[in-house]
Amino acid sequence: MASIKLPESVPSPSQDSERLSRALQGRGADENVIVWILGHRNAFQRKKIKETYQQLYKESIIYLLRYKLSGALKKAMVLWMNEAPERDAILAREALKNRKKVNQLQALVEIACASSPHHLMAVRRAYCSLYECSIEEDIISHVSHISTSLQKLLVSLVSSYRHDQELVDLNIAKSEAAKLHEAIEKKQLDTDDVVWILATRNFFQLKATFGCYKKRYKVAIDQAINSSGNGDLSFMLRAVILCIDSPEKHFAEVLRASTVGQWSTDKDSLTRAIVTRAEIDMNKIKGEYFKISNTNLDDAVARDVSGVYRDFLMALIGGKF
Query: Residue 165 has what pLDDT?
Result: 86
Residue 3 in this model has a pLDDT that exceeds 90? no
Using pLDDT thresholds of 50, 70 and 90, give the confidence band for residue 262. Answer: low
For residue 1, the tally of other CB atoms under 10 A from its CB is 13
What pLDDT does 261 receive? 62
Does 143 score more than 80 pLDDT? no
Q: pLDDT band at residue 228, thresholds of 50, 70 and 90?
A: confident
* Residue range 217-241: mean pLDDT, rounded: 92
From 66, 27, 39, 123, select the one nearest 49 (Cα to Cα): 39
pLDDT digits (tens, 9 = 90+) for 58-105: 999 999 999 999 999 999 999 999 999 999 999 999 999 887 677 889
pLDDT at residue number 264: 63
> Averaging pLDDT over each range in 6-10, 28-32, 204-208, which range is the top one?
204-208
- In this prediction, what percent of the chain has a pLDDT beyond 70? 98
Nearest CA to 242 out of 260, 261, 223, 257 is that of 223
Query: For residue 120, how many other CB atoms are within 10 A of its CB?
Result: 22
Torsion, Cα of 161, 167, 173, 175 (10° steps): -80
- Greatest Cα-to-Cα distance within the chain, rounded to the nearest angstrom: 66
> What's the average model confidence in pLDDT over 142-158?
88
Give me the helices (H) in the chain, please: 13-23, 31-38, 43-57, 61-68, 71-81, 84-97, 106-113, 117-131, 135-142, 148-159, 170-185, 192-200, 203-217, 221-228, 232-245, 247-258, 267-277, 282-293, 297-304, 307-316
d(CA 260, CA 95): 21
pLDDT at residue 263 greater than cutoff 60: no
Mean predicted lDDT score pLDDT of the chain: 94
Give the whole-angstrom CA distance, residue 318 versus residue 321.
Answer: 9
Report d(CA 84, CA 92) in Å as an integer. 12
Q: What's the mean pLDDT in 21-35?
A: 93
Across residues 17-35, what is the average pLDDT? Answer: 94
Average pLDDT rounded to a whole number, residues 103-123: 96
pLDDT at 152: 94
Tell me the residue type at 67: Y
pLDDT value at residue 100: 66
Instruction: Give the pLDDT of residue 27.
Output: 81
Does the pLDDT value for residue 115 go beyond 60? yes
Can you say how many angstroms the Cα of residue 66 is from the centroid of all Cα atoms in its chain? Answer: 21
Mean pLDDT of 298-313: 95
pLDDT tier for residue 22 given thresholds of 50, 70 and 90: very high
- Using alpha carbons, list the distances in angstroms from residue 118 to 81, 111, 237, 271: 21, 11, 22, 24
How confident is the model over 185-218, as pLDDT tens digits?
999 999 999 999 999 999 999 999 999 999 999 9
Measured distance CA(205)–CA(275) in Å, rounded? 29
Report the pLDDT averaged over residues 148-162.
94
Q: What pLDDT was estimated at residue 105?
A: 93
Structural contact between residues 259 and 301, judged by C-beta atoms closer than 8 angstroms: yes
Band the pLDDT of 320: cuts 50, 70, 90.
confident
